[in-house]
Chain A
Amino acid sequence: MDLTQMQRRLVDYTSSLFREGYLDDQFTQLQQLQDESNPDFVFEVVTLFFEDSQRLINELGEALDQQNVDFKKVDAHVHQLKGSSSSIGAQRVKNVCVIFRNYCEERNTERCMRCLQQLKHENSLVKTKLETLFRLQQQILTAGGSIPMWSE
């Protein structure tokens, strides 16, 4: 595959992630903060996010596993995850958090547990998607090309 084909593939792949709702405009904001002096900015922030989201997902699992669920605690964790997913543009994860918080308010353990499953799923999905994105970018860089900027 030549450089132009690789770049085309990256643009198409990225567009699909936006189209399918995995990413929103906030991700583009992060891309715009990356430059020659901060070439790994997006990767850095995304890595921090997944470390944090895993921690929060683990804590949510523990919190919901209790005899008497502390919904305030559960809500606090979800609020954090909602914030960070919103900050990096992980739209689907954020959307699950919004619904999750409603069930916290209702003190509905069953529904909360289902939301947690959904969160795990969406978190894992977007992680895989972004790993693919970074791999495609790296291929281009290794081949001596530059990463094309797409327009919103």
Chain B
Amino acid sequence: MDSNGLSCIERKLHVLAVDDSIIDRTIIARLLKKYDCKVTTAENAMRAMEYLGLGHEQDTSEGKDLKIGMIITDYSMPGMTGYDLLKKIKESSTMSEIPVVIMSSENIPTRINKCLKEGAQDFMLKPIQQSDVKKLLSNEYSSY
């Protein structure tokens, strides 16, 4: 149990973090683990979709079985963007309830609004700091 009292040992939040930058993946994983989350990382949206059991003819229950509690994704990724991934998750039959958080290095209000409109839980500006993750998780836990 960490001193911040944010961790919940019985119900460790399993977060899927998606980012094409290995540097950013390493940092976000460590940030989340510091707050006692279980973390899985994916290097692009396609891999994330595969992991979640999405994108085939029919959405499988894989994602549900993995008990993913939150998805954090970078916005700018080659091929499928974080926004595209957000849409796919919200359209899915299995994963639409999972909170999706978008990260971006660019503070573009239209971009932020677009994501929030599509159902993103939150938007975090890079570089991500400890206080950002703490705030994000405390919002998440308070909604239990």
Contact = CB atoms under 8 A, between A and B. Distances in A.
B31 A83 contact: no
Interface of B: 21-24, 26-27, 30-31, 34, 76, 105, 126-130
Contact of A84 (B21, B31, B128, B130): B21
A32 interface: yes
A97 B110 CA distance: 24
Contacts of A38: 30
A26 interface: yes
A44 B26 contact: yes
A116 B76 CA distance: 23
A33 B27 CA distance: 9
- Is the interface on chain A under 10, 10 to 19, 20 to 34, or 35 or more residues? 20 to 34
A27 to B, nearest CB: 10
Nearest to A35: B34
Nearest to A51: B22
Contact of A83 (B24, B30, B129, B130): B24
Contacts of A48: 22-23, 26
A62 to B, nearest CB: 18
A42 to B, nearest CB: 10
A30 B22 CA distance: 15
B18 to A, nearest CB: 15
A86 B126 contact: yes
9 contacts: A29-B127, A29-B129, A33-B130, A80-B21, A83-B126, A84-B23, A84-B24, A87-B24, A87-B128
Interface of A: 26, 29-30, 32-33, 38, 41, 44-45, 48-49, 52, 79-80, 82-84, 86-89
Contact of B21 (A26, A30, A32, A87): A87
Given A32-B130, A33-B34, 16 more contacts: A29-B127, A29-B130, A33-B27, A33-B30, A45-B26, A48-B23, A48-B26, A49-B23, A52-B22, A79-B76, A83-B21, A83-B105, A83-B126, A87-B21, A87-B24, A88-B23
A88 B30 CA distance: 13
A29 B26 CA distance: 13
A35 to B, nearest CB: 8
A86 B21 CA distance: 12
Residue among A29, A30, A45, A83 with most chain B CB within 10 A: A83
